[in-house]
Chains A and B, each alone.
Chain A
Amino acid sequence: MAQVPVQSIHRDPQLFYWILFPITIVMILTGVLRHYATVLMASAPKKQDQKATREQRSLLHGINVRGNHHVLSKPSFTARRDALITAYESGAYLKNPDSRGQPPPNPMSDPNAMEGMMGMMKNQMAMVIPNTLIMSWINAFFSGYVIMKLPFPLTIKFKSMLQAGVATRDMDPRWMSSISWYFLCIFGLQPVFNFLLGSDNAASQMAQQMNQMGPQGGAQMFGPGVDPNKQFLAEAENLAVIEHHSVLDGVEQRLLAGIKV
């Protein structure tokens, strides 16, 4: 079988200066801009009145007691557990004890809840808008020709994605147009942002996506539409089923065994 001759296309080296570098620089700058935009748009934590604080922190207190029950001696743990369970079940910590048992209000009608959603929306916007803008910018200015050759072969399926706007049937899919360089940049610029902006920057979209997928512990717990009474009851149940043991059990033996005099 005859070897397929390697395609070579003569490209103007000016392509690099006028397409590759502009796109890359714009991508980096948008990342930086997005980082600072998120920082600026981050709304200050909202003031809560005493009752709401009390409700949340009492629940947290219960969670702490449950998680760290091992530091307490058995009598002190039992005393705390009993007090907490009674208080939780009687609804002593609720923000408005009258609304017990009623279904939670529609999150759309609650202004507090709306605010939380707005925050999420803003973050989403900061992600989506620049990406759309840049994509349409690239499509408008730089479509219709190939700029680079990938160093690794791809299947024919990628052709439509990589060579959008270049309707040449026989061209090797390794040739890529400017839009594919844009995609490479989206994924590959993470380390650059890491070094420019510090590792917990808002420009790293991957990290944000990870966060969205992972369990949203803090945000969801007190989020809108969650009935605090149910949370308290669930926590009371969790506390009740704990089998207490203490780190102090046998600590002298551990100490004497661990440290050689």
Chain B
Amino acid sequence: MPSEQELQISPIVQESLVHNSRTLYNLQSLTASLFGVSAGILGLESYSGFVFYVALSLVTAVLFYALRVAPTSLASGKPPLDTSRYFRGAYDFWAGGLMNGFAGFVLTWTLFYGLVTA
């Protein structure tokens, strides 16, 4: 985390940061719902369903990093897997999807599981 004085010298535009995290949030909740649909259709139950969700969320995060963040972030001299060029917290980027999308995942998973196995 940069110190206060560094922040004053090279400020961060709050609006862009908010926009970035909102985009990320939208992606996460949309993909989580879609994962729920696929888990339901595949008929996954209990642990395998959750493992499916965690794994696919991580894959989404990695894909997002590789396709959208990495090209400019690496070019500007940041180390690999560092998202600080666009996002404030690394935790939010990598694991935030698990939290944000969980409710949507459970909903669609239950719905499609119920529809398929009825």
Contacts and interface: CB of A to CB of B under 8 A. Distances in A.
Interface of A: 11, 13, 16, 20, 24, 70, 147-153, 181, 184-185, 187-191, 194-195, 199, 245, 247, 254
Contact of B40 (A16, A151, A191, A254): A151
Contacts, number: 72
Chain B at the A interface: SS class? helix
Question: Top 5 nearest A-B pairs by Cβ distance?
Answer: A188-B107, A191-B29, A148-B114, A187-B103, A151-B113
B118 interface: yes
A235 B105 CA distance: 47
Interface of B: 5, 8-9, 22, 25-26, 29-30, 32-33, 39-40, 44-47, 49-50, 101, 103-111, 113-115, 117-118
B90 to A, nearest CB: 21
B30 A149 contact: no
Contact of A149 (B8, B29, B114): B114
A151 B45 contact: yes
Q: Which of B103, B113, B115 has the most chain A CB within a 10 Å cutoff? A: B103
Contacts of A195: 26, 30
B110 A185 contact: no
9 contacts: A16-B115, A70-B5, A148-B114, A152-B45, A184-B103, A187-B103, A191-B101, A247-B8, A254-B9
B35 to A, nearest CB: 12
B110 A150 contact: yes
A247 B10 CA distance: 10
Contacts of B101: 191
Contacts of B113: 148-151
Contacts of B9: 247, 254
A191 B33 contact: yes
Given A150-B110, A151-B109, 14 more contacts: A20-B111, A20-B114, A70-B5, A148-B113, A151-B39, A151-B40, A152-B45, A152-B46, A181-B110, A184-B106, A188-B106, A190-B104, A191-B30, A191-B104
